[in-house]
Structure 1
Amino acid sequence: MFGINVKKSNDIVTIKWQLSKVEIPASDIIDVSLDDTYGGEDKKAFRIGTPYGTTDRVVIKTKTQTYILYTTNPTSIKNKILS
């Protein structure tokens, strides 16, 4: 598998990258945004993907955790999560 795979079904957002799999209940998601900082604002965030300097970042804020997704396709991922 190459890159981050995001899927939403039955109100669960599933994020897969390499051997990792994260499932987030859609009801727990507070905000989804793009971030132009290299490491993200939240230093305790769970990072998924490879953080290259030219890679875009999608930030998912939930009730308990912040996730930063390093991707080359931020608009598609953001739209899947918000759908």
Structure 2
Amino acid sequence: MLGIDVKKVDEDIIIRYQLTKLVIPVADIISVSLDDTYGGKETNAIRIGAPYGTTDRVAIQTKTNNYILFTTNYTKIMNTINSAIENN
């Protein structure tokens, strides 16, 4: 796996990147958006991926944490998460 992998499994979103695995309950997700800043607007966010200048940043806000995913495949990630939220 080269990049970030995002899948919906049961009622959770599973995010994998290298040796990292995050499990976020779909019910906890408040919003998903693109972040156009280099390092991310949220200073206390959990960052996943490599923050190169050409990568896009997907910001996930949950009830307890904020996450920033540095990816080149933001449409697939956002579609997966938004579809899970709509079907929840």
Quick check: TM above 0.5? yes
Matched pairs, number: 83
In structure 2, stretches of 5+ residues that fail to align are 84-88
Counterparts of 1:1-40 in structure 2, within 5 Å, are 1-40=1-40
Distance in 2 (alpha carbons) for counterparts of 1:9 and 1:66: 20
- The equivalent of 1:70 in structure 2 is 70
Distance in 1 (alpha carbons) for counterparts of 2:42 and 2:60: 11
State the shift of 1:82 in Å: 1.1
What root-mean-square deviation, in Å, do the aligned CA atoms of Structure 1 and Structure 2 show? 0.5
Poorly superposed stretches of 4+, deviation over 3 Å: none
In structure 1, stretches of 5+ residues that fail to align are none
Say whether residues 1:61 and 2:61 are aligned partners: yes
Identical-pair percentage: 61
- The equivalent of 2:86 in structure 1 is none
TM-score, with structure 2 as normaliser: 0.92
